[in-house]
Structure 1
């Protein structure tokens, strides 16, 4: 189970400052609600995906 900062706190930070567990958790969460995302939610999801890709993918995001 995820035990970290919530989206309220994370939304005030650059995605580059999120830790890997946060990226992984919220990536999964957003995948579950894709049909319900508004434009802002879609932008956040895209930024999360881009940051994961910049780090080399989910398999390589352990740690940080």
Structure 2
């Protein structure tokens, strides 16, 4: 179960400073509700996906 920082706190931190666990958790959560996200939520999800790719993909995350 995820017990890290919430989205409010993370929104004040550069996405490059997020932990792998945070990226993985919010990627999965936002992916599940993607059809219901507004443009801001979709942008946040896209930034998360890009950061995961920059770190070598989901297989490389230390969850």
Unaligned runs of 5+ in 2: none
Aligned to 2:39: 39
In structure 2, what is the Cα distance between the partners aligned to 1:47 and 1:14?
Answer: 11
In structure 1, what is the Cα distance between the partners aligned to 2:38 and 2:47?
Answer: 14
TM normalised by structure 2 equals: 0.96
For these two proteins, the number of residue pairs brought into alignment is 63
RMSD (Å), alpha carbons: 0.9
Once the two structures are superposed, what CA deviation does each residue of 1:16-58 show, in whole Å capped at 9, x if it has no partner?
A: 0000000000000001100100010000000000000000011
Unaligned runs of 5+ in 1: none
